[in-house]
Amino acid sequence: MKSYWRNLFGCNVHKLQIDAGFTCPNRDGHVAVGGCIYCDSRGSTLRQKGELPSVAAQIASGKKYYKPHASKFIAYFQTFTNTYASVEKLRAIYDEALKQEDVIGLSIGTRPDCLGSDVIELLNGYAKKYHIWVELGLQSVHDKTLQFINRGHNFQQFLNTVNALAGSGLNICVHIIIGLPGENDKDVLTTAKTLASLPINGIKIHSLLALEGTVLGEMYKKGTLSMITKEQYVSLTVDILELLPPEMVIQRLTADGYRDIFLAPDWAMNKLDVLNSINKELERRDSYQGRYYKGKN
């Protein structure tokens, strides 16, 4: 991402993580309860400590910490579903972020079933002046997997949302997970090929993590869940990169955080080692992103 930001804006840009107090329809009963089987229910560290600081205060704190390394910032609304509110409430929250000095855009984590036409219209308005990313949690294109992990939406809903966002001036980033229960290598590569054919701009990839306090964590502790190995993850990640468009922005290849509730796999917490292993595998294959990309449909 560093080179992407520098090429686009001519300076170092950093994403500041924001918890604006949202919840999720997959938790509050609107769609389901309990959330996805892998999801940490606690929210951000700030939320765990008590009353959340304002959006402006969170940005100010983040800027103070990262200012030596970046001159511009993206407000990253990360915790839970950050379009799950009325348009009026969303406008007030996003406006507060964009009014802060040196904030040049937003990155908004959300679900495919929480982007109605009114919310998309709001985001389109921001995109005329600011750099806006919409980050869609998907994890897999396979409905059997989405049902098993309790996503609360299907793949067609995701497609409908991508089509509604496409061509609007908004940047679309999709999150996927490697190592989901019941999926084999072919399933993972089908997800990659499908996303490669769609009008999306970026992708985040990471391995499945077993965390304390989650359904998945309980499965792991009971011995009913096997975790992907580092070697499998690295090989599949490179397979995916070879299938994606060369211009697609790779926003993430590993997971961050969760150390206080992390259960498995052990190798996933060594981010630098995983990234180095991916680069070495690309070199071993003499390969690159987009090597086997077949073009859009």
> Once rounded to an integer, what is the mean pLDDT over residues 191-211?
97
pLDDT in the model for residue 43: 67
pLDDT of the residue at 172 = 98
Predicted confidence band at 47 (pLDDT cuts at 50, 70, 90)?
low
CA pair distance 232, 210, nearest whole angstrom: 17
pLDDT of residue 52 exceeding 60? yes
pTM of the model: 0.95
- 3-class SS of residue 4: helix
φ, ψ of residue 87 in degrees (nearest 5): -60, -35
State the average pLDDT over residues 43-69.
84
Average pLDDT over residues 235-252: 98
Among 128-142, 163-177, 210-224, 257-271, name the one with the lowest average pLDDT.
257-271
> Is a pLDDT exceeding 70 seen at residue 257?
no
Average pLDDT of span 11-25: 94
Q: What CATH class does 2-207+249-254 carry?
A: alpha beta
Q: Which residues contact 133 (CB under 8 A, 6 or more apart)?
A: 74, 105, 106, 107, 108, 170, 171, 172, 173, 201, 202
Q: What is the mean pLDDT of the chain?
A: 94
pLDDT at residue 295 in the model? 85
Q: Which residue has the tokens 């061509």?
A: 167
Q: Read off the pLDDT band of 167 (50, 70, 90).
A: confident
Residue 42 confidence class, pLDDT cut points 50, 70, 90: confident
* 135, 107 Cβ separation under 8 angstroms: yes
217-230: per-residue pLDDT in tens? 999 999 999 999 99
Rounded to 5, what percent of the chain is helix, strand, coil? 40, 20, 40
Report the pLDDT value the prediction gives residue 233, as an integer from 0 to 100: 98
**Phi, psi of 44, rounded to the nearest 5 degrees:** -70, 165
| pLDDT band of 45, cuts 50, 70, 90 | low
* 79-121 residue pLDDT tens: 999 999 999 999 999 999 999 999 999 999 999 999 999 999 9
Q: Average pLDDT for residues 54-74, to the nearest whole number?
A: 93
pLDDT-derived band at 41 (thresholds 50, 70, 90) equals: confident
CA distance linking residue 161 with residue 155, whole number of Å: 10
CA-nearest of 169, 9, 16, 210 to 98 is 16
Neighbouring C-beta atoms of residue 295, cutoff 10 Å = 7
On whether the CB atoms of residues 154 and 146 are closer than 8 A, the answer is: yes
Reference 236, options 265, 274, 267, 263; nearest CA is 274
- pLDDT, position 267: 96
3-state DSSP call for residue 238? Answer: helix
Reduced to 3 states (helix: H, G, I; strand: E, B; else coil), residue 25 is coil
